C-alpha cells in the first residue's frame, strides 16, 4: 500500500429536498473528496463533516487544514503493509475522526482495488445486497409527514426514521403509526432533549418504535444510561459513539441497546469493524447510518454494511433521492428496500471526472 500522490477536491451539491433536523435546515452539502494514488491505482473517499459543527465538532475547513498540513505530509511517499498500519501514522492525533477517516477510507479503497477484491469482502462481509431504510426530515405538518412516509413505504424502504425535536415528536409519530400500523418505525432527535424530557420521550413508547436515536447530548453516555433505565423503548446511540471504546462503555453502562454505526464518525473502516465486533459481543444490533453522502461515501457505507452484525436496515437510501447529478458514474439505487453492493474491486464506483471538473470549488494535487 504505497501512497504516491493525493488529490483534494471540494464540491457543493444542492440537495433535492430540504432536510430539517433538530439542529437546523440543510439545502446543500459541502463535500471534500480525497483521491490517493499508488501503484497505478486510485482510492477515493469523502469527508462527511459539515461546514458548521452542528452534528459533532468537526468542520470541512478543519479537515482541509488537517489533510494539507498534518496528514498528507506524513503519508505521501510512504508504504504501509495494509490500511491498519496506516492507522498507526494517524494514531497520535486527538479526535478529528471524520478527517482521519478520509485518509483511512481512501486507503482501504486503494488497497482493495490493488488486491482486486470488493471492499466489503476485504472487511469480512459477504452480502450481495443490504437492507435499507430512509431518514425523513421534519415536515411542515402531520399530513405532509404521513404523505412523505407513504411515498417511501411504497418504494419498499424497510424502515422509516422520522426526525423529531421538542414540540414535534409525539404528533408526527402518532399520525404515522395510525396510518401505517405495521411498518418498522424509529425516531432520531439528534441530541435535542435532556433528562427533564423523560416524560415526553416515555410517551413515544405507545407507538412501537424499534428505537429512539440519540435523544440526549452528543457527547453523553451517562445520562443516556439513566434515560434507558427509565424507558422501555431501546435507545440507539449515534453522535456519542466515536470509537470502539465508546461503544464498550456505552453498551456496558446500558446507555443504549443499538448502535448507529457511521464509519467516518469513528475514524474509518478498521475502527468501524471494531465497533461492530464490540456490539456483537454485547448482542447489540448495529446498522449503517448516513450523512447525506455522495456516491463515494454511500458506496463505502454499503460495503461496510455487508458485515454480519448489521442486522437492522441502514440509512443508505438511493443516491437519486439526494442528488440531481452524483459525483460517481454508477447509480446507487435500492429496489424493494435492498441496495445492491456495487461490484468490482474496492468500493466499486468511479469518479465522474467531467462533472467534478465543472463543479469543484477546489482541486489540489499533493506529492511527497
Element (H, E) at 211: strand 209-213
Residue owning grid cell 466515536: 242
Q: Residue 125 in 3-state DSSP? A: coil
Count residues near Mg ion (CB under 5 A). 3
55 binds, among Mg ion, ligand OSB, none (CB under 5 to 8 A by kind): ligand OSB
Grid coordinates in use for 184?
A: 418498522
Choosing from 46, 50, 131, 188, the residue that interacts with Mg ion (CB under 5 A) is 188
**Minimum distance from residue 201 beta carbon to Mg ion (Å):** 15
Smallest distance, Å, CB 298 to ligand OSB?
8
Cell output for 227: 434515560
SS3 362: strand
Q: Tally the residues of the chain.
A: 368
Among 20, 46, 169, 238, binds ligand OSB (CB under 6 A): 238
Binder to ligand OSB among 292, 296, 327, 341 (CB under 6 A)? 292
Q: List the one residue out of 328, 251, 255 whose CA is nearest residue 284.
A: 251
Nearer to ligand OSB, 107 or 334 (CB): 334
Shortest gap between Cβ of 114 and ligand OSB (angstroms)? 29
Which residues is 185 bridged to in the sheet?
160, 209
* Among the listed residues 139, 190, 240, 350, the single contact to ligand OSB using CB under 6 A: 190
List the alpha helices (DSSP H) in the chain. 60-66, 72-75, 83-90, 97-115, 119-123, 142-154, 170-179, 198-203, 222-230, 244-253, 269-282, 295-304, 353-359
For the bound state, the minimum distance from the C-beta of residue 197 to Mg ion, rounded and expressed in Å, comes to 17
By three-state DSSP, how is residue 120 classified? Answer: helix
**Element of type H or E holding 96:** none
46 binds, among ligand OSB, Mg ion, none (CB under 5 to 8 A by kind): none
**293 belongs to the binding site for Mg ion (CB under 5 A):** no
Does residue 55 interact with ligand OSB by CB under 6 A?
yes
Per-residue binding string, Mg ion, 231-270, x by CB under 5 A, is -------x--------------------------------
Three cell numbers, residue 331: 447509480
By beta-carbon proximity to ligand OSB, the closer residue of 1 and 164 is: 164
- Which residue in the set 120, 290, 309, 313 belongs to the binding site for ligand OSB (CB under 6 A)? 290
Distance, first Cα to last Cα, the chain: 15
Answer with the entry of ligand OSB, Mg ion, none that 337 interacts with (C-beta below 5 to 8 A by kind). none
Question: Which candidate in 16, 29, 163, 249 is catalytic?
Answer: 163
- Whether the CB-CB separation of 107 and 3 falls below 8 Å is answered with yes
Contacted entry of ligand OSB, Mg ion, none for residue 315, CB cut-off 5 to 8 Å set by kind: ligand OSB
The whole-angstrom separation of Cα 349 and Cα 331 is: 9
Interacting partner of 125 out of Mg ion, ligand OSB, none (Cβ under 5 to 8 A depending on kind):
none
161 is catalytic: no
Largest CA distance in the chain: 60
Contacts of ligand OSB in 296-355 (CB under 6 A): 315, 317
Question: Active-site residue among 29, 127, 161, 262?
Answer: 262
The answer to whether 269 and 120 have CB atoms below 8 angstroms apart is no
Least distance (Å) from ligand OSB to the CB of residue 259? 12
User: Which residues is 236 bridged to in the sheet?
Assistant: 213, 258
Residues contacting residue 295 through CB under 8 Å, at least 6 positions apart: 319, 326, 327, 328, 330, 332, 349
Task: Find the binder of ligand OSB among 104, 109, 169, 188 (CB under 6 A).
Answer: 188
Q: Which of residues 136-165 bind ligand OSB (CB under 6 A)?
A: none
Respond yes or no: is residue 163 known to be catalytic: yes
Residues that bind ligand OSB (CB under 6 A): 55, 135, 188, 190, 238, 289-292, 315, 317
Residues that bind Mg ion (CB under 5 A): 188, 213, 238
> Hey, which residues are catalytic here?
163, 262
Amino acid at each position: 500500500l504505497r501512497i504516491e500522490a493525493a488529490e483534494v477536491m471540494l464540491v457543493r451539491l444542492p440537495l433535492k429536498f430540504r432536510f430539517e433536523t433538530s439542529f437546523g435546515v440543510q439545502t446543500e452539502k459541502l463535500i471534500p473528496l480525497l483521491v490517493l494514488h499508488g501503484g497505478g491505482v486510485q482510492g477515493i473517499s469523502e469527508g462527511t463533516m459539515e461546514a458548521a459543527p452542528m452534528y459533532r465538532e468537526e468542520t470541512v475547513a478543519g479537515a482541509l487544514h488537517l489533510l494539507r498540513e498534518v496528514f498528507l505530509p506524513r503519508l505521501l511517499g510512504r508504504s504501509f503493509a495494509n490500511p491498519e498500519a496506516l492507522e498507526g501514522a494517524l494514531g497520535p492525533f486527538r479526535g478529528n475522526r471524520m478527517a482521519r477517516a478520509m485518509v483511512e477510507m481512501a486507503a482501504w479503497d486503494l488497497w482493495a482495488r490493488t488486491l482486486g477484491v470488493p471492499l466489503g469482502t476485504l472487511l469480512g462481509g459477504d452480502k450481495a445486497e443490504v437492507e435499507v431504510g430512509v431518514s425523513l426530515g421534519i415536515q411542515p405538518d402531520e399530513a405532509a409527514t404521513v404523505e412523505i412516509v407513504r411515498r417511501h413505504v411504497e418504494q419498499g424502504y424497510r424502515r422509516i426514521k422520522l426526525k423529531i425535536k421538542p414540540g414535534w415528536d409525539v404528533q408526527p409519530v402518532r399520525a404515522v403509526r395510525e396510518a401505517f400500523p405495521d411498518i418498522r418505525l424509529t425516531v432520531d432527535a439528534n441530541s435535542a432533549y435532556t433528562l427533564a424530557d423523560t416524560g415526553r420521550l416515555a410517551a413515544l413508547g405507545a407507538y412501537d418504535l424499534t428505537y429512539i436515536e440519540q435523544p440526549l447530548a452528543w457527547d453523553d453516555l451517562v445520562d443516556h444510561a439513566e434515560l434507558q433505565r427509565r424507558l422501555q423503548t431501546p435507545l440507539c446511540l449515534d453522535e456519542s459513539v466515536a470509537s470502539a471504546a465508546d461503544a464498550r462503555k456505552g453498551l456496558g453502562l446500558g446507555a443504549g441497546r443499538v448502535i448507529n454505526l457511521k464509519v467516518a464518525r469513528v475514524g474509518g473502516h478498521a475502527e468501524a469493524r471494531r465497533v461492530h465486533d464490540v456490539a456483537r459481543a454485547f448482542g447489540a444490533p448495529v446498522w449503517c447510518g448516513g450523512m447525506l453522502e455522495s456516491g463515494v461515501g454511500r458506496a463505502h457505507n454499503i460495503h461496510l454494511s455487508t458485515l454480519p452484525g448489521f442486522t437492522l436496515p441502514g440509512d443508505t437510501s438511493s443516491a437519486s433521492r439526494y442528488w440531481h447529478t452524483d459525483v460517481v458514474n454508477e447509480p446507487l439505487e435500492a429496489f424493494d428496500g435492498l441496495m445492491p453492493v456495487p461490484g468490482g474491486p474496492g468500493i466499486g464506483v468511479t469518479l465522474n471526472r467531467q462533472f467534478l471538473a465543472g463543479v469543484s470549488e477546489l482541486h489540489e494535487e499533493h506529492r511527497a
